[in-house]
Amino acid sequence: MRLVAGLGNPGAGYAGHRHNIGFMVLDRIAADHGFTPWRRAFRGEVAEGRLGAEKVVLLKPGTFMNLSGEAVGEALRFWKLTPADLTVFHDELDLAPGKVRLKDGGGHAGHNGLRSIHAHIGDAYARVRIGIGHPGHKDAVAGYVLHDFAKADADWLEPLLQGVSEGAAFLAEGDGARFMNAVALRTAPPRSSTTVAVPEAARKTPQTPQTPEAEVPLLQRLIDRFR
């Protein structure tokens, strides 16, 4: 069994914020994979279902971001799980919009949600870092993350949500490479081309063959010379 948490802030007023992309991911997974309806539990909301062969509980903490560890810690203790059974989806300022990276353990890099989880259960859990870009100056960060995605962001946000949902079963089963491949197929699909490569020799302009002078009969050359 795995616990998958998405980080964000509760309430309709925060629903479209960049900081809430963890909630958006879980909502998409729950809808696409037939999870149970969301219900109140562990100071948040949970939905239960299966991803591939794995039983999975999705958790959206109902505390604000900087108290996320309270809900995550309660859920782990209730199901007698360890930090190694936890995966957390969260926004990442230091990645370009739409970029996804997996991380197993390590620091929280100043992210308040991760900082809270570290305080409650330690750092030995997996994270899926979802890039939202950086506003360019640290003083603008708070306003940036606590603001709705721009309309133009839909161009990368929708393919990202689709790719993460399609690869979720691989992630639950511990196959990070196949998960990342599923995401990449939606966010950076390989380019197809209908252009047929033309061999180098065929691209050269045909030249009229020239007869070498040595091949012209000697008598004909003498005749031509004394005309």
- Where are the chain's structural domains? 2-187
| Helical spans, DSSP H, in the chain | 21-32, 68-78, 112-121, 141-145, 154-172, 176-187, 200-203, 218-225
What one-letter code names the amino acid at 196? V
pLDDT the model gives residue 214: 45
The backbone torsions φ and ψ at residue 4, rounded to the nearest 5 degrees and listed phi first, read -120, 115
From 19, 33, 90, 111, active-site residue: 19
pLDDT the model gives residue 191: 75
Beta strands 44-51; 126-131: pairing state:
unpaired
Task: Look up 19 and say whether it is catalytic.
Answer: yes
pLDDT the model gives residue 109: 86
pLDDT the model gives residue 211: 47
User: Which residues of the chain are modeled with pLDDT < 50?
Assistant: 195, 198, 202-203, 205, 208-209, 211-216, 222-223, 226
In tens, the pLDDT along 177-194 reads 999 999 999 998 887 655
CATH class in words for 2-187: alpha beta
In tens, the pLDDT along 54-69 reads 999 999 999 999 999 9
